[in-house]
Each structure stands twice: as structure tokens, then as C-alpha cells.
Structure 1
Amino acid sequence: MDDAIIEDDDLSLGRKSVIPGEGFFVPDSLEESHEEEAAAEALDGASVAVVADPDADGLACVALLRELYGDEPPAEPAVGDEAAGEEDETDPDTPVDVAEEAPGRVSRDVALIPAGPHDLEEGIEYVAEYGAAGIDLFVCDLCPDRYEYVESELEAAVETADSVRWFDHHQWDDAVAEQVRAAGVELVVGDSDEECTADVALRSLDHEFPERFAELAAVTRDHDLWIREDPRSDDLADFSYWSDPGEYVDVVMRHGPDLPEETLAFVEERRVEKQALIDRAVSRADMREVGPWTVGVTYGRCSQNEVAEALREQGADASVVVKPAGSASIRGTDAFERCHEVARQVNGGGHPKAAGCKPDIYDDMLDYANHWTTRGAVTKQVILDAFRTLVPENGESEEIPEPTEEDAEE
């Protein structure tokens, strides 16, 4: 395939909004091969491994663990220094001297293995296969829907590791939690209405962290629980999305939630396009009445949280944002706190007010072609049907409208 066909740089916003990013078109086998090579390299010589969701919450846990084990971020030149790597001792952003702050601590390499909900088992498997005997394993901000999904990989990792600790705040099935603990894992699950995973890790790790790490957890919680009282939380969320996971960890280890000016400038530049994609998704949204709830349903490559907030302001009790890659985000409000129940019916899971899923309805590229040209019509219908199962005898399903002429022009 000609690279130019899938590259984003020359696409209009209208087209970019309705088709997946170029990473979608990379075969899973090739992507998994690259991920495995990267994991093997990261684990080479490491004595601590962290399998974490590479969002702001999961990466905040990585920052906490690297601080705990004495891993310092790379030297950062002071702003304005011409000589790369030349540190200004008077610069307040100069890295903290870990050895001076905590005498006697031994630095140990902490390997980050990024993993999402659908490749959690692979992340754990990499540690079992490439991690050194006696490694300490942490799993952060991830929750298996069924124990069988991670059973063999987790048991192998427990055999390899000296200890396995798991921090999370999602809605766990009691039986799954019991099985994970029975496998030899120290599992700590926080209240998803009160804590993010960084909060859980902060209170579970026996260490006196510098104040910036406690503040990092608090600001991360502000976004992850959709409190949105601290403007810095959106900065963290956006930076974690647009940056390399390792780069994000390095920056927040230094600065906590107060990102440096050059990072904020980068984020602001990227937000121009982000807002344009949000506006397009909001403009094509429909409101559906499902039992006692109004559900806003839309489609597009966009930031789902901001779209959901806009639909809430328009009267939606819950929102469904279907993505061009086939997945969907489900967001609730105080009037609807059952998002995880909807998601579990369509190959997903999450929190009462925030969940994700990817219906198992894509058999070949023709199904995806139909998905793009109809703006996710089948996926929308499947998820709305999952809402209806929560309302006994609610009546017949509503039909999803065909794409509008405006959509077709995009």
C-alpha cells in the first residue's frame, strides 16, 4: 500500500475525522512483533517491571515506582542553555538528587511495558518470558474482564517474579479479584468514585514521596474521575496522549503536574486540531431516548471526554462516541452510572461513568469500509441495544439514521 494513502499529514480535517489513523493499517502481527522486541529490550537488565496503561493515570504510577526505586530521569538542560545536558544548579527545574534525598537507596532499572485492556495478557507474558528471575512486577491501571484472559500469563509471571503487585481502581468482578489474589498477587483496588490508580499506588507504596508526586496523583485524579476542577489535569491528559510514554514519565518525575513552558506550548499547538475534531463529532451527534435516559450518539476520531461533556450540556444522560477504528467510548453522568454494564455486553468494561468497548462485529475490511461510510451505524445500534437491555420491556429498537449529505461530503 502506498504510504501516502494512510498518512495523516495531507488529509483534510473532514476526512481525518472519519477514518482511523495510520497505525490502524499496520497488521497486528507486525505491531506485536515490534512491541515484543521493545519489551525484551526494556526488560534486559531490569529488576523492576511495570505493565501499565500508557495514559496519564498509568504513567503516573510508573513515575512513582521509578522514584521509589531510585531511577532518575535523564539530565535536562536549563531553558536557554546552548550546551545540551549542561545543568544550571540554580534552576528550580534541575533534577532532584535522589541519592541526596534518600541516602542508601540503590538505583534499579524500572522497565515500562505499555499495555491496554486488550493486550494486558501480552504485557504480562513479556515479563514472564524476558524478565530476569526474581524481578519485581507491578501491574497498574488495568483490569481483566475474566481471569481466563490472563491466567496462564499471570501464573508464568508469578513463577518468574519475586513479587507481583497490582494497583487499580476499575470495577473488578469479585471472582476475578479472588482468582488473581489466589495466584499469588497482592491486589489493591481503589474506589473508582474516589481514587485513580495513582492514588492507590501512592498510598500502597511504603515510601515518603516528595510533595510533587502527591500533587501529581491529585491532579491525575481530577481528570481520570472527570472532576475537572484543576486546569492542569487536561494538560496532563493531553500530554500523555501526544507524547511517548517514557518522555511523559521523565517530565512528570521532574515537574509533577506543573508542566514546563515548552511542554505546554507543544500541547497548545496540538489542541487547535483537537478542538476542530471535537467540533465535528459534536455537530454530527444524535440524541436517542432509551427508557428513562437520553443518550447522545456520535462518530469520529476525537477526544471522547470533551465530546461527552458537550453532549451532556445538550441534555445527554449518557454519551456514546464511536471511533473509526471500531471501538467506542461510553460516558455517563449523575443521571446514568451504568456505563460498565453497557460495555460488558459488547466486549468491554470500565467504570460506572466511563467505559470502553469494541463490539466483535468486524470480520473483514468490507465490514470496516461499511463502518466508515455509514459513520459507525452498526456499532451504534449494537451499543444502543446494550443500553436497552438495562430497561426491561422498553419496546423495539430505534433505527440509526443513514449518513447525512454533509457527512457524505466529508
Structure 2
Amino acid sequence: MDDDLIDDDGRSLSRKSRLPGAGFFYPDSLDEEYADRRAREAIEGAEAVVVADGDADGLACVALLRERYDAALDVAPFEASLAARLDPGLDDGDDDDEDEDTEDSPVGLVTASPHSLSEALDRVAEYADAGVDVYVCDLCPDDESVVEAADAVTDRAATVRWFDHHQWDDDVASAVRAAGVDLVIGESDEECTADVALRSLADDFPDHLVDLAAVTRDHDLWIKEDPRSDDLADYAHWASAEEYVTVVGRYGPALPEPVVDYLEDRRVEKERLIEAAVDRAELHDVGPWTVGVTYGRCSQNEVAEALREDGADAAVIVKPAGSASIRGSEGFERAHEVAAQVNGGGHPRAAGCKPDVYDDMLDYAHHWTTEGQATKRVILAAFERLIEDDGTADE
């Protein structure tokens, strides 16, 4: 395939909004090979290993743990990389491999999602030294299939501690604890996982990391009272995991000037993508709720907020890669129930899913050219089933 066909820099914003990023077009086998190599480099010889979600909440936990183990990386190489991104004339390397030239921390980081959690734990069990400390942060397994991998890790590790704040199935939580894991689950509408880690570790953390947990909560629970929380969310999304952990570990939520400049530069296009997604949105009445549905590459939280301002109780943002974000409000706190019906999960007001409607690339081609019509129908049907289930329960 010609690289120009998947090069974001060569697309108009309209096309970029409708198509997935270049990484989508790489085979999973290549992604798995790269993920396995990077995980092995991070895990082998580490004093502790953290398996974490790659968002601001999961990565804040990593910053706390590296502080606890006195294992933070030097921030200078990452600040130099930021300067190069703002001034292409200084860039003499490949951004995709920017972390490969940095040292590895004694607290190794493996990023994962709920769908890749078992594979990440398998890698820890295979590559970690015996007696290592293992932490899992901001990840909720979809079902009990993760227990076998958790068993293998507890057999290898000295301790396994798991911090989270999502909505857990009681049977899954019991099975994970029975495997020997110290599992702490916070209240999903009161704490983010960084809060859970902060109180569970019970160390005397510096003020800037205590502040980091508080500002992360402001974003993760969609409180939106601290303007710095948007900076953390955007930076976690655009930077590499190692860069984010190192920078916020050093500065907390008071991000340094190079980061602020970088965010301002990236937000120009971000705002245009948000506008495109909002312009495409349609409102649907489903029982007592108004559901706003749209499609495109965009920042889902800002789009959801715009749809709420237009009268939506819930927002569905379908992405070109096939997944979807579901956002609720005070009038709809069942996003996780909708997502659970279509291969996903999450919180009452924030959830994600990827409906199983893609059998081959022709289905994806249809997805892109129809702006996700099949996925939209499946998710709207899940909203309708909530009403049916409520009626059955009443009877």
C-alpha cells in the first residue's frame, strides 16, 4: 500500500475526520510483535511492573508508583523532544520511536486496555523476575477469563496489587481476589484510580503529585472545575506514555511551558475536528431520553458536552476505527449498561464499546462511507433494550 494513502498530513480535514489513523492499517500481528518487544524490555529486570490504562488516570498511577520506588526517568530528553515537535528544523528522528532512545525505569510500564489485559498479564508472568512487585491500575476486566493470567502473575510475583474505580462484576472481583490479588475498587462516581492508588499506597507523596490526583479526578469524573484537567487529558492522549508519566511525575498538573506550547499547537486541529463531529450529529428520541449520535475522529468528551448543550441526555460518538464512546449526564447514568450489550463497559456516565459488526474490510469500507450507520443502529438498539428490560422488570 502506498504510504501516502494513509498519511494524515496529506489529507483534508474532512477526510481525516472520516478515516482512522495510519496505525489502523497495520496488521495486528505487527502491533503484537512490537507490543511484545516493548513489554519485554520494560519488564525484564524491573523491580516493579505496572500494567495500566494508557489514559491520564492510569498513567497518573504510574507516576505515583515511580515516585514511591524513586524510579522516575530524567525529564530532559522528553522536553527536548517536545521542542523538536514544535520546531521541525530541530527534529532529527522518528517520533514513533522517541521512547526507544530513553532509559528504562526500574518500575516498568506496560499499557493495556480491558481487551488486551490478559495478554499484558501473560507477558508479565513470562518476562518478570521472580519476586517482583506487580500493580494493575485503572483496568476492569470484561469477564473471568482474566483470572488464569492473574493466577500466573501471582505465582511469579511477591505481591500483586490492583487499583481501580470502574463498575466491577461481583463474581469477577471475587475470582481476582481468590487468585491472590490485593484488589481495591473505589467508588466510580467519587474517585478516580489515581485517588485509589494515592490512599492505598499511603506514602508521604509530594504536594504536586497529590495535586495531580485531584486534577486527574476532575477530568476523569467529568467534574470540569479545574481548567488544568483538560491539559492533562489532551497531553496524555497526544504524548507517549513514558513522556507523560515522566513530565507529570516531575511537574504534576502545573505543566511546563514547552508542554503548554505543544498543546496550543495541537488544539487548533482538535477544535476543527470537534466542530466537524458536532455538525454531523443527529438527535434521536429513545423512550424518555434524547440521544445525540455522531461520527468522526474527535475528542469525544468535548463533543459529548456540545451535544448535551443541544439537549441530549446521552451522546454516542462512533469512531472511524469501529469503536464508540457513550457519554451520559444527570438525566442518563446508564452508559455502562448500554456498552455492556455491545462488547464494552465502563462507568454510568462514560463507557466505550466496539460492536461486533466488522467481518472484513468491505464492512469497514461501508462504515467509513456511511459514517458508521451500522454501528449507530446497533448502539441505539441497545438503548431501546434498556426500556424493554425496565418494562420486564416492572412486570
Same fold, TM-score > 0.5, yes or no = yes
Which aligned pairs between 1:235-250 and structure 2 lie closer than 5 A?
235-250=231-246
How has the CA–CA distance of structure 1 residues 151 and 265 changed in structure 2, closer, same or farther, with 3 Å as cutoff? same
Which aligned pairs between 1:298-309 and structure 2 lie closer than 5 A?
298-309=294-305
| 2:202 counterpart (189, 199, 206) | 206
- The ranges of structure 1 where at least 4 consecutive aligned residues each deviate by more than 2 angstroms after the TM superposition are 392-395
> Contact 2:75 / 2:247 at 8 angstroms: preserved in 1?
no
For 1:66 and 1:187, how far apart are their aligned partners in 2? Answer: 20
Q: Which residue of 2 aligns with 1:19?
A: 19
Compute the displacement of 1:151 (Å).
2.2
> Contact 2:138 / 2:163 at 8 angstroms: preserved in 1?
yes
For 2:352 and 2:380, how far apart are their aligned partners in 1? Answer: 14
Q: Which residue of 2 aligns with 1:360?
A: 356
For 2:166 and 2:226, how far apart are their aligned partners in 1? Answer: 22
Aligned residue type for 1:260: P
Compute the displacement of 1:394 (Å).
10
Aligned residue type for 2:132: I
Which aligned pairs between 1:93-172 and structure 2 lie closer than 5 A?
109-148=106-145, 150-172=146-168
For 2:53 and 2:360, how far apart are their aligned partners in 1? Answer: 28
> Contact 2:284 / 2:292 at 8 angstroms: preserved in 1?
yes
Identity of matched residues, %? 65
> Contact 2:115 / 2:142 at 8 angstroms: preserved in 1?
no
For 2:257 and 2:316, how far apart are their aligned partners in 1? Answer: 35
For 2:76 and 2:341, how far apart are their aligned partners in 1? Answer: 47
Compute the displacement of 1:206 (Å).
2.9
Compute the displacement of 1:393 (Å).
8.6
Greater helix share, 1 or 2? 2
> Contact 2:18 / 2:296 at 8 angstroms: preserved in 1?
yes
For 1:285 and 1:191, how far apart are their aligned partners in 2? Answer: 32
For 1:61 and 1:159, how far apart are their aligned partners in 2? Answer: 24
> Contact 1:141 / 1:170 at 8 angstroms: preserved in 2?
yes
Query: Would you say how many aligned residue pairs link Structure 1 and Structure 2?
Result: 368
For the pair shown, which has the larger CA radius of gyration, 1 or 2? 1
| 1:335 counterpart (320, 331, 337) | 331
Which aligned pairs between 1:199-238 and structure 2 lie closer than 5 A?
199-238=195-234
Deviations 1:87-135 (A, max 9, x none): xxxxxxxxxxxxxxxxxxxxx8100001112111111111001111111
> Contact 1:295 / 1:317 at 8 angstroms: preserved in 2?
yes
Q: Which residue of 2 aligns with 1:59?
A: 59
For 1:120 and 1:29, how far apart are their aligned partners in 2? Answer: 17
Q: CA RMSD in A?
A: 1.7
| 2:68 paired with 1:71 | no
Q: Which residue of 2 aligns with 1:96?
A: none
| 2:289 paired with 1:278 | no
Q: Which residue of 2 aligns with 1:45?
A: 45
Q: Secondary structure of the equivalent of 1:391?
A: helix
Compute the displacement of 1:392 (Å).
2.2
Deviations 1:45-83 (A, max 9, x none): 101000000110000000000000011321539x99xxx
Q: Which residue of 1 aligns with 2:35?
A: 35
